[in-house]
Amino acid sequence: MLRTTLFAAAFALAATATSAATVIIDQGPLAGASANGIDSFKSIPYAAPPTGDLRWRAPQTGPRWITPRDATAFGPICPQHATEGLIARANLPQSEDCLTLNLWTPGGRKLPVMVWIYGGGFTQGGASVPRYDGTALARRGVVLVTFNYRVGRLGFFPHPALADADFGLLDQIAALQWVKRNIAAFGGDPGNVTIYGESAGGVSVDMLMSSPLAKGLFAKAIAESGGLFDPTTKIEDARKGALDFATRLGAKDVAALRAASVDAILKADDDDDGPVVDGKAILEDPRDAFAAGHQAKVPYLTGTNSAEGAMLGTQNADWLTKPLGDRLAAVRKLYDTASDAEFAQLLFNDRFMAGPTDQLARAAAPRAPAYVYRFGFLNARAHMRGETGVPHGGEMVFVWGFGDLAAFAPPQDTAMSDTMQRYWTNFARTGDPNGEGLPAWPRFEGAHPQTLVIDDKTVPVADFRKAQFDALSPARTPVP
């Protein structure tokens, strides 16, 4: 019995052991790792470190090397206030030298490529969060890429003395340019790149679709819980906030700004920053770009979760209801099964997340295939906690997979993860999420477009929540 146990342990160890994987890119040779049929390469610099004189500049050409560069460990994430969520729990190292990317590949030729853009409100996030391990998706036959981009004031700073403002978006574009140049070396097809992201990453996807600088860098797009719900700030309206930040920092000119310590920058940053319409990366509000047909004409998959409004918690919801004015009673009737607290959360869902997503899809659909989802499947832990809907970000574990915990997940959860991964990778492969054995997902088109409601039973629903969306569309109040 002991011998059998030792043999089984040795076999398991051998099965998960890693070996070297090598590849040559335009910067030099890389030495990554190979495990269970997947090669991985981490902390590859796609641009020069944005430090010193390169702080608050557009990303510059990355370094080159001659001897094989070690690519077996993640690099640091970009500096930020890591106070909550995935980043705080992961406790990842930080550094301004953070413009790196990671990828996983099953090997082959002309494979579809998926490039992930993380969320975090443009103030937090990192590509090395354990949840963003690309192994499971790579096993589906795609090359999976994650990358860091600058966040907070280091990433978005519309100071009038600087040549640019949306440095984080410029980082995203530089990463996609790197993919275009190098992904064939890893078996990927540079002509079949899908960008996808969640929350601020989903917003980034919509912004990249609207950006002339990203033209030709991707062929498909997936926006998870993006919610482009209010106008993107114009750069002239954001100048005062940038100047106030410089005053708090005690910096009288650009040289002083670039000489300041990262700690001082984080201390002075109030996290009241994000992309602006700068006339370069973003020429116009992305909602206007979609409405006018100026966005990239590529297959577009987008959607939200059933309880995005849970992020409100128990805060006072007057700011949600007051803009409705004398229409409040009529709107309230559309939610007649909800308590006041539930009404506030559903109102947030429809006003700030699902409604704007529906609006963007309606604008995109006449020009390229569009697919819309509503994710409402509750996993086993959510049922145990008595939750009634899927909160913001709750779909991600099913898209990325359960990793080392997959063997312990209930069958219904792993089945849903299989469904979501197949939808996402089918879309990356062909521009159509449908496949054998999957519930049919109709295109979002026609007089009564259908949204795929993904739940215990997954079915398409025509004119999903149209009455609520139509009733709320005149109420354009900002989130406090």
- Residue 31 has phi, psi (to 5 degrees) of -115, 105
Residue with the two structure tokens 């146990």: 5
Q: How many angstroms separate the CA atoms of 190 and 201, rounded?
A: 21
Q: How many angstroms separate the CA atoms of 208 and 31, rounded?
A: 31
- Pick from 230, 222, 191, 42: nearest CA to 117: 222
SS3 state of residue 271: coil
Active site residue 198: no
Question: Burial of 399 by CB count in 10 Å (0-12 exposed, 13-18 middle, 19+ buried)?
Answer: buried
Q: How many angstroms separate the CA atoms of 159 and 318, rounded?
A: 34
Which residue among the candidates 40, 43, 128, 199 is catalytic per the annotation? Answer: 199
Q: How many angstroms separate the CA atoms of 193 and 182, rounded?
A: 12
Q: How many angstroms separate the CA atoms of 419 and 433, rounded?
A: 10
Active site residue 308: yes
Q: How many angstroms separate the CA atoms of 76 and 58, rounded?
A: 20
Q: How many angstroms separate the CA atoms of 353 and 347, rounded?
A: 10
SS3 state of residue 350: helix
Residues in the chain: 480
Active site residue 392: yes
Q: In this structure, what token pair is assigned to residue 53? A: 């004189």
Which residue among the candidates 198, 224, 308, 395 is catalytic per the annotation? Answer: 308
Q: How many angstroms separate the CA atoms of 425 and 419, rounded?
A: 10
Question: Burial of 223 by CB count in 10 Å (0-12 exposed, 13-18 middle, 19+ buried)?
Answer: buried
Q: In this structure, what token pair is assigned to residue 166? A: 């949306």
- Pick from 410, 371, 369, 373: nearest CA to 395: 373
Q: How many angstroms separate the CA atoms of 265 and 94, rounded?
A: 14
Active site residues: 199, 308, 392
